Amino acid sequence: MPLNIIRQDIRKIDVDAIVSPTGQSRNFIGGVEKLLFDSGNEAYKNAVMSMPPLRISEVHVTSGFNLLSKNIIHARGPVYVDGQYDESELLESTYMNVLTESKRRLYNHIAIPLISTGTFGFPVKESLMIATKTIQNFLAFEDMIIDLVLYDEEVFLTSQSLFEDVIDYMNCHITNAHEQIFEKSIAFSDTYMQSASIEELFQEMEETFSEMLLRLIDERQLKDSIVYKKANIDRRLFSKIRSQKHYQPKKETAISFAIALELSLEDTLDFLARAGYTLSQSQKFDVVIQYFIENEHYNIYDINMLLFDLNEKTLGA
């Protein structure tokens, strides 16, 4: 998927470039720089020490020094004081300069940690919000795969109130003995059976997931690129779905398109059924999806951050 949120050792990610936040002093006291410094690579140490001085938000590229990553983008983010010294604007500029330089060098896949957190003192949640907003705006116009890499100790919530609302919703619905979503799906099917002739029913059943997706895009007069980007879907996968009438998507992929198309719950159930899926109230992932759809909250990045916090699969492909 274009934007992945992962917890992993950034040194072990096979990408075109990883981002290493750096400071003016080059003292290797924390973050990715310290991880790389501690690996004992003398060529890396010498290259970093001989880099030209970077102003805040500037970047400099070196080789990957035998890492899986082919290159390292060294980025100087701001030190957080109290939020009154344009720290947020400078951090956004840092992320954007990383993305712009990656585009200029034709990188297809990069990995970025949360810049300026840790020893630079930037609040994790705020850095995450700035990162995802900047990346989201960038991916609206560019095709690139970006891994947002978090340390194990970095815990975040999209919104404390939103998180609490979803947890309350989950507690209410998962403990409910009746599968209300399934019942809605059955009720929808019964109504359709009563109103449609046999010929109409068979004709409608012939519409595959791919065909329904393309029809919905056309009916809404949307561009393909807008839909697959909003769904956090890679362009190559969308091309495969478009060209293969009977393409069988993963459930997360099908839901991603339902979110991108801003379908109602009823329409989502019909859409998922084309791929052989439904939503179940016995599954935490499914209930979270239902919550966002029922509340018409269709920002896939917000959904993914909450799913990630709950250790569930994220949307996209």
199-233 burial, b for 16+ CB within 10 Å, e for fewer?
eeeeeeeeebbbebbbebbeeeeeeeeebbbbbbb
Q: What is the pLDDT of residue 45?
A: 80
* Region class of 83: left (phi > 0), else alpha (psi between -120 and 50), else beta: left
Q: What is the pLDDT of residue 186?
A: 47
Q: Whose CA is closest to 163, among 262, 279, 297?
A: 297
* Region class of 151: left (phi > 0), else alpha (psi between -120 and 50), else beta: beta
- Which pTM value belongs to this model? 0.82
Residue 26 to residues 21, 30, 31, 49, 74: CA-CA distances in angstroms? Answer: 10, 10, 12, 7, 11
Domains of the chain: 3-150 (3.40.220.10), 160-309 (no CATH)
Per-residue pLDDT of the chain (317 residues; tens, 9 = 90+): 799 998 888 888 999 999 988 876 665 555 677 777 777 677 878 888 888 888 999 999 999 888 888 999 999 999 999 888 899 999 999 999 999 999 999 999 999 999 998 788 998 888 988 999 999 999 999 999 999 998 755 555 666 667 778 878 888 877 654 445 445 554 545 554 455 555 555 555 578 999 999 999 999 999 999 999 999 999 999 999 999 999 999 999 999 999 999 999 999 999 999 999 999 888 899 999 999 999 999 999 999 988 988 889 999 87
